[in-house]
Amino acid sequence: MNTILVPIDFSEHSEYALKTAAKLAKKHNAEVLVLHMLEMATVALNATDELLGQQVIYFMKLAEQKFEAFLDKPYLKDLKITPIIKHFKVFSEVNDVAKAHNADIIIMGSHGTNGIQEMFVGSNTERVVRNAEIPVLVVKNSEVDINFDVIVLACDLTEESIQPYLNTRKMFEEIVSKIYIVHVNLPNENFKSTVELEEMAANFFTKAEKSLSRMEDMHFISDYTIDEGILNFSTQYGADLIVMPTHGRTGLAHFFQGSVGEDVVNHANLPVLTIKM
């Protein structure tokens, strides 16, 4: 891990993300890119070029002042910190910045159990995740243990899930003591019998690993919703991190239809890492 991107709005929750990024940066000797997107879209709609230019200069200077104060933290000492300011709040730009700087991960802060607040209101979190081509880590508090000894990886056992599974293994193979692969079986038209689930898992690991040696890490959970199953399992097994695969074109895919990913982010007290399929 060489480069970490942290979008901020100068709130308490974006500082949670910054603290987590600082811990990872110290561990991996990585650079931290701190990104702020200005609130100028509404002004731009009715502004002349001259007025818009004046507005940009004013808000840029204001953001620079806020940056200086926000980044004046003891935990950032001796780290390579690069502040970046964008003129408009366009969430696809987070991925553009990540690509331009070859970032390895995006870290965002989240507000409790009521959803993403401040910079990431409503569906904006999913917009960032949907556009991100690299993993996105969402944190809830400032005391995140970055060792991630126990990880729960949600999996629908499709071929699309193989690469996120392999990416998760590769990302944490040096530090993780245990990765639990979890499939939630729902009481609806998609319900599968134990035999069917075991056949799906065997096919998945045969394609992913060319063996069934990881079958012992596979767990089938029955619950009323996918997010409840993932969260209940994570609590029961003392997870440090939940990993959710996502689909770039349509947001949350297949096993993660609707707002499952957002529900997990909203209701989990744990950090949640999304990995693009």
Mean pLDDT to the nearest integer, 16-39: 91
Would the pLDDT of 251 be above 50?
no
What pLDDT score was predicted for residue 89?
Answer: 62
92-100 and 124-131 helices cross at what angle (nearest 10)?
A: 40
Residue 89: strand pairing partners: none
Question: Measured between alpha carbons, how far is 106 from 135 in angstroms, rounded to an integer?
Answer: 6
Residue found by looking up tokens 């999304």 in the block = 274
Residue found by looking up tokens 């935990």 in the block = 75
Question: Measured between alpha carbons, how far is 78 from 157 in angstroms, rounded to an integer?
Answer: 43
Question: Measured between alpha carbons, how far is 197 from 233 in angstroms, rounded to an integer?
Answer: 17
Q: Answer whether 3-139 and 150-276 agree in fold.
A: yes
Would the pLDDT of 204 be above 60?
yes
Residue 248 backbone dihedrals phi, psi, to 5 degrees: -60, -40
First-to-last alpha carbon distance for the chain, in angstroms, is 20
Question: pLDDT tens, 98-139?
Answer: 999 999 999 988 764 444 443 443 345 566 777 788 999 988
* H-only helix segments in the chain: 12-28, 41-46, 49-70, 92-100, 124-131, 162-172, 194-209, 226-236, 260-267
Class of domain 150-276: alpha beta
**Tokens found for residue 176:** 């993780």
What pLDDT score was predicted for residue 9?
Answer: 82
Boundaries of every domain in the chain:
3-139, 150-276
The dihedral through the CA atoms of 251, 219, 266, 69 has a sign that is negative
Query: How long is the chain?
Result: 277
Mean pLDDT to the nearest integer, 170-186: 87
> What CATH number does the domain located at 3-139 have?
3.40.50.620
Other Cβ atoms within 10 Å of 12 Cβ, number: 12
What pLDDT score was predicted for residue 277?
Answer: 74
pTM (2 d.p.): 0.83
